[in-house]
Amino acid sequence: MKKELLMASALVSTLGVASVAQAVTASYAGSMKIGAEFESADDSSVDSNTVSDLSNFNISLSETTDGGTTISTSFEIVDEGAVSADDDNAIKLTFTDRSALEILNAGNAAGTHVVAVPGASGEQGVGGTSTNNAPGDVDFAAGSTALGIEWHSAADFLADGLKMSASWSTDSGAAAGATARLDNSWGIGATYVTEAGDTKITIGGGVASGDVVTSDTAGSSNDKAGMNVGLSAVTGALTIGVGYGDGDSFVANNAGVTVNQNVDGSVMKVGASYVTGDLTLAVGVTSGEAADYTFSSPTTAEDSNDSTSASVTYAVASGVSAVVGYTQVDQNNEGSSTTDGGSAWYVGATMSF
């Protein structure tokens, strides 16, 4: 469903210039999720329940030049108690050979090619201590600054089923301060899709690296770098997937800690989903671990965050689904068992358009 957005020049009333109507093709989508979460903490008599209310509205804009190049971008408005706008949006140029270039806020190519691993639906979750830095996403070591570009190949690049990307970002030019920040980055990623009998197989991943800067000389050699790899297989109604990430990241001293910290970690994700009639059954397991420590002061004590989730989604009507989800979380912080794990249930509905 597409709408034409008409934008008149604001100079008409002040300069007397004839108005010129400009139009780009716009499409939109969104959803409204509402449900109840029931959370039970480990080793605690205090249980909690909350109402989860999440709405989002996404608008995509695009237009094609006379030369055949498509210019596109998008933005999203999310309301989860407080309205916010996603402004990390690149300008994307898609050329006639179907290769593409993203300019500004382009991201990191290693993250672009992360293979989607099935996981449970629902808004259930268990909060943990802010000092636990075990990663939960396989691309945790991929980073970028706003001043970046990313190139995407066309499909079937060099071989049937292969797509590749490469990205680069540079620093803002600001002087290094006491708070560590990412200075620049690069990334390379690829996705390969093939078939084995009735099974569609997707293999993807990438590598990334970036410099972390701070005015503290003890942290002058730190970086944010790593790799991720994943595989998914779809056979009829069954989808299974696995993903793995390993590398180094960091936590700046204005993000809930009083010092800049390195995070040397890894994470494994495994999941499966099965569709039968109007029901979708899904299960996912995530296991992350990391050693976090003050810059240039390595330690062997590790944080860990292990979770198992499952859900059942029922298609009530077109665009309307009911969800029941469950999550169990176990955590260790600095090598010691904590009471920050627990379990959570979610019962809710989603309406999408």
Selection from 291, 4, 237 nearest residue 118 by Cα: 237
**DSSP type of residue 137:** S
- Comparing C-alpha atoms, which of 267, 326, 285 is closest to residue 121? 326
| For residues 216-238, average pLDDT | 86
**Sole residue written with tokens 């480990």:** 42
With a cut of 80, say whether residue 84 has pLDDT above it.
Answer: no
Residues 6+ apart with CB under 8 A from 20: 9
Which helix or strand (DSSP H or E) is residue 110 part of?
Answer: helix 109-112
Q: Which residue has the tokens 């293999």?
A: 203
Q: Which residue has the higher pLDDT, 208 or 42?
A: 208
Across the range 160-177, mean pLDDT stands at 90
Q: According to the model, what pLDDT value does residue 200 have? A: 97
Give the model's pLDDT for residue 44.
56
pLDDT over 50 at 2, yes or no: no
CATH of the domain at 171: 2.40.160.10
Contact 59, 4 (CB under 8 A): no
Residue 9: pLDDT over 90: no
pTM of the model: 0.82
What letter would DSSP give residue 155?
A: S
Question: Which one has a higher pLDDT value, 269 or 133?
Answer: 269
Sequential DSSP letters for 228-241: EEEEEEEETTEEEE
Average pLDDT score over the chain: 85
pLDDT at 299: 73
pLDDT higher than 70, residue 89: yes
209 contacts 141 by C-beta, under 8 angstroms: no
Q: Is the pLDDT of residue 216 over 50?
A: yes
Above 90 in pLDDT, residue 150?
A: yes
Q: Of 6-20, 69-83, 122-136, where does mean pLDDT reach its minimum?
A: 6-20
Tell me the average pLDDT across 169-181: 84
CB atoms within 10 A of CB 147: 16
Residues forming beta bridges with residue 263, ordered by sequence position = 249, 292
Q: What is the pLDDT of residue 353?
A: 92
Where is 15: in which H helix or E strand? helix 12-15
Tokens representing residue 346 in the block = 């979610």
pLDDT of amino acid 125: 77
- Between 198-212, 240-254, 336-350, the lowest mean confidence (pLDDT) is in 336-350
Q: What are phi and psi of 71, to 5 degrees?
A: -110, 125
Q: How many domains does the chain have?
A: 1
The answer to whether 271 and 284 have CB atoms below 8 angstroms apart is: yes
User: For 219, left (φ over 0), alpha (ψ -120 to 50), or beta?
Assistant: alpha
Is pLDDT of 21 > 80?
no
Domain extent for 180: 2-352
pLDDT digits (tens, 9 = 90+) for 34-46: 999 888 876 555 7
Residues 297/281, Cβ–Cβ less than 8 Å: no
- Judged against a pLDDT cut of 70, whether residue 87 lies above it is answered with no
